[in-house]
A and B are shown apart, each in its own frame.
Chain A
Amino acid sequence: MYSEKVMEHFRNPRNMGEIQDADGVGTVGNPVCGDMMTIYIKVKDNRIEDIKFKTFGCGAAVATSSMITELAKGKTLEEALKITRKDVADALEGLPPVKMHCSNLAADALKAAIEDYYKKQKGKVESK
């Protein structure tokens, strides 16, 4: 039921893990629903220099997390914010319809991580 691309990312997820001193962290989903993911980013000169993920969920949840780290790495924050759920699904050669909503949370998690980064930067400026 999954594309070969989804299975390939499930078997060999890219950028899995945590970044201890992350500049931004975003968590979306909920274990009650069966899908939850956290994205960690390191930002340098307005670009995503490093990105990692941790995911609890089904095959699609793992594959979309892995894919978004590939799509976002090296991009400027503005570019990264433009990545949509559809971009992630397309890059994975499609997702089963039932998975499009529940498990395709990676773009949201990335946005949350970038917003967290902006919030922390603002805090730093204000405290100076």
Chain B
Amino acid sequence: MLTSKKVYMDHIAGKPVDPRAIEAMLPFIREFYGNPSSIHSFGHEPRKALEEARAKIVKLINAERAESIIFTSGATESNNMTVKGVAYRNMDKGKHVIASSIEHMSVINPCKYLKTKGFDVTFLPVDKYGLVDLDSLERELKEETVLVSIQYANGEIGTVQPVREISQIVHRKNAYLHVDATAANGQVPIDVQKDGIDLLTLSSNDMYGPKGVGALYIRSGVRIEPIIHGGGQERGLRSGTENVPSIVGFGKAAEIAVNEMQSESERLIRLRDKLIKGLLESIPYAFLNGHPTNRLPDNAAVRFNFIEGESILLSLDMMGVAASSGSACTAKTLEPSHVLLATGLKHEEAHGSVLFTLGRQNTEDEVDYVVQIMPDIVKRLRAMSPLTPKELLS
């Protein structure tokens, strides 16, 4: 580290837990350790807290009733439960599942798993902004289609999907619409009834709650079976003693999001646009990833030609700035992000991507700092790169 400055702009990777959520959790770690399923008095407080948290999730997404919310260990479990649980429960209707090609791996990989079990899976293409192609959706929907899974917004490129339009198309063919709202929850208002959503994945940490907890909204009447079997908690759909302290923190985070989302999102949009504009204007051959306007308030995804993402991240880290990248070299796999490739970027373009995700504690000064240091970082790496055109170096 060459500087004592610390700027955290990697909120997609992990968010700080809101102190108010931590406060709400503490009694359920220290004092109220009882099991919410117990009949005796030690179970009363945990049970009450569990149902209060559930009511806060109901309010966040305007669910029709409390029973529609199932607490899980997080978005990955909610997505797995949806893809496998809906597919296995509805085989009498058909064995076809559709997902967009830019879903999170916790949707993509369960879909690929289903393929090995004899299901038919279609991955929908997206345009250069990452918007799902609605004509292909219409074309690919069949009588046998049981589930369509499309995220509310993509965390890596920020693009927000036209969920209501998608819902109308899906419901014309009597399939269920699952929406993964992991990246979007707490940033944009979601109304499962107005949006026409049958199943919705929520993640606690993505709205400043603790990690390791999430939820799945399941509209009343949707046929789904559990993937975790046991003592029958959560209406038999998700066995295992409820993680009460984390669920309480999640509920508090949802309550805070309901109250503060609008003003905070407006603030983030101002910072986001300043950051994007600052980078694109001061650096040649710099481009925005994702949609220019239909995008998440926190998401500034940019790419720089002729250089590679991990080198940019290391250089930013040397200046105290934490960001992330869709580059192969930072991931466990060696392929560039499937999301960036699906938007039509060439491998070498995808490799030069950097993702800044803003959060509650980021300030305008921090945005100015990043805009100020980035041109020199890019210049230094381009001077090193054999791909940089000569005229750019003089």
A interface, CB within 8 angstroms of B? 2, 7, 10-11, 13, 16, 27, 31-38, 54-62, 98-99, 102-103
Contact = CB atoms under 8 A, between A and B. Distances in A.
A16 B385 CA distance: 10
Contacts of A61: 308, 311
Interface stretch (B92-100, B107-115, B230-238, B325-333): B325-333
B386 interface: yes
Given A10-B314, A35-B329, 16 more contacts: A10-B311, A11-B2, A31-B348, A33-B334, A34-B328, A34-B329, A34-B351, A54-B384, A54-B385, A55-B384, A58-B311, A58-B327, A58-B329, A58-B330, A59-B310, A98-B334
A54 B386 contact: yes
A34 B327 contact: yes
A84 B11 CA distance: 40
Contact of B387 (A31, A33, A62): A31
Interface in B266-321: 306-311, 314, 318
Contacts of B383: 16
Given A16-B384, A36-B387, A57-B329, A62 B347 contact: no
B310 A58 contact: yes
A13 B387 contact: no
A39 B227 CA distance: 54
Given A31-B387, A36-B387, A59 B311 contact: yes
A58 B384 contact: no
25 contacts: A7-B314, A10-B314, A11-B2, A11-B318, A31-B347, A31-B348, A32-B347, A32-B348, A34-B308, A34-B336, A34-B348, A34-B351, A36-B386, A38-B386, A55-B384, A55-B385, A55-B386, A56-B306, A56-B307, A56-B387, A59-B314, A60-B329, A62-B311, A62-B384, A102-B329
Nearest to B336: A34
Contact of B384 (A7, A13, A34): A13
Contacts, number: 74
B314 A56 contact: no
Contacts of B336: 34
Contact of A57 (B2, B311, B332, B346): B311
B145 to A, nearest CB: 35
Indicate the size class of the contact surface on chain B.
20 to 34
Nearest to A56: B385
Nearest to A13: B384
Nearest to A55: B384
A102 B334 contact: yes
Interface string B1-15: 010000000000000
Nearest to A101: B334
A102 B335 CA distance: 11
B53 to A, nearest CB: 37
B318 A56 contact: no
A54 B309 CA distance: 16
**Listed residue (B330, B351, B386) with the most chain A CB atoms within 10 angstroms of its CB:** B386
Q: Which 9 A-B pairs have the closest CB atoms?
A: A58-B329, A31-B348, A58-B310, A54-B386, A32-B347, A56-B385, A34-B351, A38-B386, A59-B314
A11 B319 CA distance: 11
A32 B345 CA distance: 11
A38 B328 CA distance: 21
Contact of A37 (B2, B351, B386): B386
Contacts of A54: 384-386
